[in-house]
Structure 1
């Protein structure tokens, strides 16, 4: 059986694509080139399905949620708050998995940040 090799891209609709791309570069340090190519660090990727009625993604109109691995969740959340980003007050610790926090981008998409154990 042929298998996929990994995530090849993640695409977002935006009222202002240039501004949203700039937000991801300036607030999260996602340094994609002019074609959107981003060379991420090697590491695990979680693929999981959720019940259709979940509130975990924030708005129920949001069909998917992007999750970024981070080295230091507290430092990333502080950086985002300093830039005026909409950061959730709560974080979550999951034993054996890691710590989670959330930010909502300027277009209203909830993004999860994960510091693996």
Structure 2
């Protein structure tokens, strides 16, 4: 596998998900990328839950359901939890003091949305403060906080 040629083939200024991930995914899927002599390494397949402490867990569960459409955790056998749509998930620790994470907090969650403008409109109509939209090559973003001050970022990915 000629990794240098593969990375040169991606225009360094094109930050779209397709440009960044498709060549790498294709390379990793090829028989050249993984030696058949080595056993496949087990890895996680996604996020199975996100758990955090809240002063008012029931109120916060209902806020996420009412404002972001996230179904509550099942409270009985056979109940179904919120199911996210397939797509990219970025997992990236930030340094202490990073301004993306609200002061005094230790996490921020980013939710993918299909129509950021409509989501912002719904939130504002319900009295939730939302930042102005910021646009980058890989999509549009807006930030807000839940009732306990936890950071939330909404992301509408750029179309490929």
Taking structure 1 as the reference length, what is the TM-score of the superposition? 0.89
1:56 aligns with: 100
SS at match of 2:110: strand
Higher fraction of helix = 2
Report the count of equivalent residues.
114
SS at match of 2:124: helix
> Is 2:86 the partner of 1:37?
no
SS at match of 1:22: helix
Structure 2: 5+ residue runs without aligned partners?
1-40
Structure 1: 5+ residue runs without aligned partners?
none
Show structure 1 runs of 4+ deviating over 3 A.
Answer: none
CA contact (8 A) 1:101 1:112 kept: yes
The match for 1:101 among 142, 149, 154 is: 142
After TM superposition, give the deviation of residue 33 of structure 1 in Å: 4.5
CA contact (8 A) 1:57 1:110 kept: yes
SS at match of 1:75: helix
Higher fraction of strand = 1
2:157 aligns with: 116
